[in-house]
Structure 1
Amino acid sequence: MNEVKHDVKIRKITIEDLPHVVVIENESFKSPWKKRDFLHDLLKNSFSHYLVIEKDGEVAGYCGVWIVLESAQITNIAISPKHRGHQLGKKLFKEVLDTIREQGATELSLEVRESNEVAQNMYQQFGLEVVGRRRHYYQDDGEDALVMWVKL
């Protein structure tokens, strides 16, 4: 049996990607960002960088990061539910780390839901460690966020 090869590509986001990104955002989060939030980041925030990952020509996920001097902060990352379980998040995160380094940042932080063990495990594979907790961080249900950090 021949194994099916899938074409996976990671690239900078375009405005044309936003409808797909918003769908993935809504499928992935209880309190999703709105299209206007992404537009503001893309058009008016000079610290903002976004990448999308495509699988077979379809936007399968995205990641946003703010880079200010030596500090980078992941704003959001999501893979479409139908594309989960194929290591796309890991590929995308690795590319984001490369972008962060290219921009001169030397540290990365992010917040992750305390209950999101899948994401936490992936981040730990890249050297991130839990360094703090933001109590009742998520407004939709009051769940705590774990703050994860790594020196690049």
Structure 2
Amino acid sequence: MSSRSHALRMAEERDLARVFALARQDGVFASMEELRDAWARAPWTVQVSDAGDVALLDRWREHLPLVAVNALWSPERSVPSHMTALRAVARAHGFDDVLSPFVPEELLDPYVRAGMRVVHTGVTMALRQHAFIASAPVRGVELELADESVLEQLLALDIECFSDFWRYDVRLMREYLGSDRTVIARHEGAIVGYAMCRIDRGHGVIGRLAVAPAHRGHGIGGLLLGDALGYLERQGTQRTVLYTQADNEQAQRLYARFGFEQTGSRKHLLAFGEVDTEKSVVPWSHVVR
């Protein structure tokens, strides 16, 4: 009897239950309804094989012709052929290239064998034990909880703080404003920084932290970070993580001051072609998504 094929194909409705079993375990989709909605909008973004492999795709940013592989469950030997196939899927739907998942250093080889190359390297930092560190107030700066009413202002701030590769589009900003606790810093009425955090499967995540270039060096980043950590501590989290660029020493010094330490190996994003992830990035900002 022949073995089942590992070749990827577009998922059918009958495949969604097994896809969700994997996606829920890794926190990619919170509910079957969320997965079903994503599949209904763009069935090609859910790829499966008869042997049980699963790949979940999404547009990286609305202003860039890139597709991201949000998750890939597959034997290592199948990764090169899967990434080649997913590149063809992306091109068939009008995109220039496909990004790998965030790949630990020890698992790079199959992606490199597919013909991909590293376009970004980052590190995970963890705060293993919350210990309250009071952030000094910043003169003239007030913090407030944000909602969708400030969406356009946050998008404008992202353009100041991040490269085109990392800045959010309307879709992502709206999504994270709805799911994350978002706090903005105002100075003379203008939004000069913001932080996003959430609780994911019992631990805290700092998802976004940015300060406008003209307002850096005055303690606003520490004020926002301290506020987020205070909230996560009040919710009972015992561990908080964040992800930042490997060469962003300025941001890493801030996080170290609050007790964060690097943990595990570096993680990489890979692409087949040239992808500029850093152009116009202001080094202080960090991203986890």
Do they fold alike, i.e. is TM over 0.5? Answer: yes
Q: Contact 1:69–1:104 (CA<8 Å) still a contact in 2?
A: no
Q: Contact 1:69–1:105 (CA<8 Å) still a contact in 2?
A: no
User: How far did residue 138 of structure 1 move?
Assistant: 7.8
Distance in structure 1 (CA, Å) of the matches to 2:258 and 2:186: 22
Structure (1 or 2) with the larger CA radius of gyration: 2
Distance in structure 1 (CA, Å) of the matches to 2:205 and 2:270: 17
Distance in structure 1 (CA, Å) of the matches to 2:270 and 2:184: 25
Structure 1 position 137 matched with structure 2 position 272:
no
> Tell me, what secondary structure is at the counterpart of 1:91?
helix
> Could you say which residue in structure 2 is the equivalent of 1:27?
160
Tell me: CA distance 1:142–1:42, structure 2 relative to 1, closer, same or farther (3 Å): closer
> Could you say which residue in structure 1 is the equivalent of 2:72?
none
Q: Contact 1:28–1:80 (CA<8 Å) still a contact in 2?
A: yes
Distance in structure 2 (CA, Å) of the matches to 1:16 and 1:121: 33
Q: How does 1:3-152 map to 2 (within 5 A)?
A: 6-30=139-163, 31=165, 32-43=167-178, 45=179, 48-137=180-269, 140-141=275-276
For structure 1, the residue ranges without an aligned partner over 5 or more in a row are 144-152
User: How far did residue 51 of structure 1 move?
Assistant: 0.7
Q: Contact 2:203–2:237 (CA<8 Å) still a contact in 1?
A: yes
> Tell me, what secondary structure is at the counterpart of 2:221?
helix
TM-score normalised per structure 2:
0.44
> Tell me, what secondary structure is at the counterpart of 2:265?
strand
How many residues are paired up?
136
User: How far did residue 106 of structure 1 move?
Assistant: 1.4
Distance in structure 2 (CA, Å) of the matches to 1:8 and 1:27: 19
Q: Which amino acid aligns with 2:256?
A: Q
Structure 1 residues 55-88: Cα deviation after superposition (integer angstroms, max 9, x where no partner): 1221110111121243011111100111111110
Taking only aligned residues, the RMSD between alpha carbons, in angstroms, comes to 2.1
> Tell me, what secondary structure is at the counterpart of 2:269?
coil
Runs of 4+ in structure 1 over 4 Å off: 138-143
User: How far did residue 14 of structure 1 move?
Assistant: 2.1
Tell me: CA distance 1:138–1:98, structure 2 relative to 1, closer, same or farther (3 Å): farther
> Tell me, what secondary structure is at the counterpart of 2:268?
coil
Report percent identity of matched pairs: 26
